[in-house]
Amino acid sequence: MIEAHNLTKTFKDKKRGVITAVDNVSFTCRPGQIYGLLGANGAGKTTTLRLLATLLQPTSGTARLAGHDTQSASELVRANVGFLAASTALYARLTAREMITYFGRLNGMPDDAIKARIRQLSAELDMDEFLDRRCDKFSTGMKQKTSIARTLIHDPAVMIFDEPTLGLDVMTARSIVKFVRDCRNRGKTVIYSTHVMSEVEKLCDTIGIIHDGRLVAEGTLAELQQRFGETDMEEIFVKAVGGEAALAAALKN
């Protein structure tokens, strides 16, 4: 379960003054559901997800993940979260097994449990062949599989994906999408950010459109289609953010 209440995050910038990256955002994401956070570049998706993963502290507002508050119990939150982003890389000089074991230990797991879990994940993700090779020699697909195994080692209840398909080839991107769906089917709470409209359409149970730090529209695909009188996700998105001119202005900033 993810519950965000009036989350706000401001940054100070020397040139531009105070920037509100996330502005009063509230939403709820339930177990067994995928919540899609859709927004253009710089809309505030990554900051929102970093707030949820406790990498950043909110300026105001609160968030609870798996029943723990992100500010007062940040370590418990992280113990219950698997965070996968385009920006979370692997240690190039470690092997896949060493990498996954390291994060198992950082999650306080005993070595026996880590071994058993790696065996299971490796079978599921088909990693046996490269498990003991160094990550710097991996293809993108192998890297993604290792990253997935890293986020799943402690079997977290909440999964946070920040544009996980960014820059990936079609095959790898498809396998990621399949994996996200699997997470939902296993009853995990999933939040997924992207700027790819098609991914949102086929993957997400609830869609939140974020623009300029604010959540401007929220609902199921059917609800959004009805509200904006459009069937195409892209058209819905453009209408939700206030038209092309507003979108262009936001991207300029």
Partner 1 sequence: MNWKYITTIYLKELRDSLRDRRTLISMIVIPTLIIPVLMFGVGTVMSKVIRQAKEEATSVVILNGADSPSVVAALKADKKFHVVDGAADYKQLISDKRVRVAVEIPAGFEASLKTSTPQTVMIYHYQGELKSGLGAGELDKFFRALREKTVETRLTDRGLPVTLVKPFEIKWENVAPPEKVGGNAIGGFIPYIIIILSFTGAMYPAIDLTAGEKERGTMETLLCSPVNRLNIVLGKFLMVLTASVTTILLSLSSMALSAVIGIMSFAGGGAAGAKAAAAGGTIPIIDPLGIFGVVAMIAPVAVLFAALLLAISLFAKSYKEAQSYVSPFIIVVIMPAMLGMLPGIDLSVKTSLIPILNLSLVCKEMLSGVWHWQYIALIFGSTTVYAAIALAFCVRMFNREDVMFRA
Structure tokens at 154: 């402690």
56 to 95: interface string for partner 1, x by CB under 8 A: xx-----------------xx-xx-x-x-x-xxxxxxxx-
Chosen residue from 3, 20, 55, 155 binding partner 1 by CB under 8 A? 55
12 to 41: interface string for partner 1, x by CB under 8 A: x-----------------------------
**In terms of C-beta density within 10 A (0-12 exposed, 13-18 middle, 19 or more buried), how is residue 201 classed?**
middle
Q: Count Cα neighbours of 115 within 13 Å in the Cβ-side half-sphere.
A: 3
Instruction: Name the residue nearer to partner 1 (CB basis): 80 or 206.
Output: 80
Using rule CB under 8 A, residue 100 touches partner 1? no
Using rule CB under 8 A, residue 140 touches partner 1? no
State how far the Cα of 39 lies from the Cα of 210, in Å rounded to an integer. Answer: 5
User: Within positions 104 to 133, which residues make up the interface with partner 1, using CB under 8 A?
Assistant: 105-108
Closest CA to 4 of 42, 38, 43, 53: 53
Structure tokens at 67: 């029943």
Instruction: Name the residue nearer to partner 1 (CB basis): 138 or 228.
Output: 138
User: Within positions 172 to 211, which residues make up the interface with partner 1, using CB under 8 A?
Assistant: none
Closest CA to 43 of 247, 199, 203, 186: 247
Farthest-apart Cα atoms in the chain, separation: 57
Instruction: Name the residue nearer to partner 1 (CB basis): 143 or 239.
Output: 143
Structure tokens at 224: 């959004």
**Residues of this chain that bind partner 1 (CB under 8 A):** 11-12, 50, 53, 55-57, 75-76, 78-79, 81, 83, 85, 87-94, 98, 102-103, 105-108, 150
